[in-house]
Amino acid sequence: MIRSSAADFSASGDVQPGETPPAEDQVSAPQGHEEHGPHRAVPWVWIGVVGAVAVLVALFFVGYAVGLLD
């Protein structure tokens, strides 16, 4: 039987203990710049914009219903 340099596998296909590569080191040095999220006001601005559009659409339908837009 010819033995290859690849890792030995058990019958279930698992790699045998001691045949796995060592864990790699993590990168701990800073990587460029820090990532910052949006300013605190940005989500509230979008909520306000969506709310204003919803109110305008509702007013349009109310105006149409009472006959202001005939």
Q: Would you state the structure tokens that stand for residue 69, as one six-digit string? A: 């837009």
- Residue 60: what pLDDT? 95
- Residues facing 9 on adjacent strands: 15
Query: Would you say residue 24 lies in a domain?
Result: no
Q: Residue 49 domain-assigned?
A: yes
pLDDT, the chain, mean:
78
**Is residue 1 assigned to a domain?**
no
22 lies in a domain? no
> Average of pLDDT values for 42-54?
96
For residue 11, being part of any structural domain is answered with no
This prediction's pTM:
0.47
Number of domains in the chain: 1
Residue span of the structural domain in which 61 resides: 42-70
pLDDT in tens, 22-34: 666 566 666 677 7
17 part of a folded domain: no
Question: Look-up: residue for tokens 């710049």?
Answer: 33
- Classify residue 20: in a domain, yes or no: no
C-alpha span between 21 and 7 (Å, rounded): 10
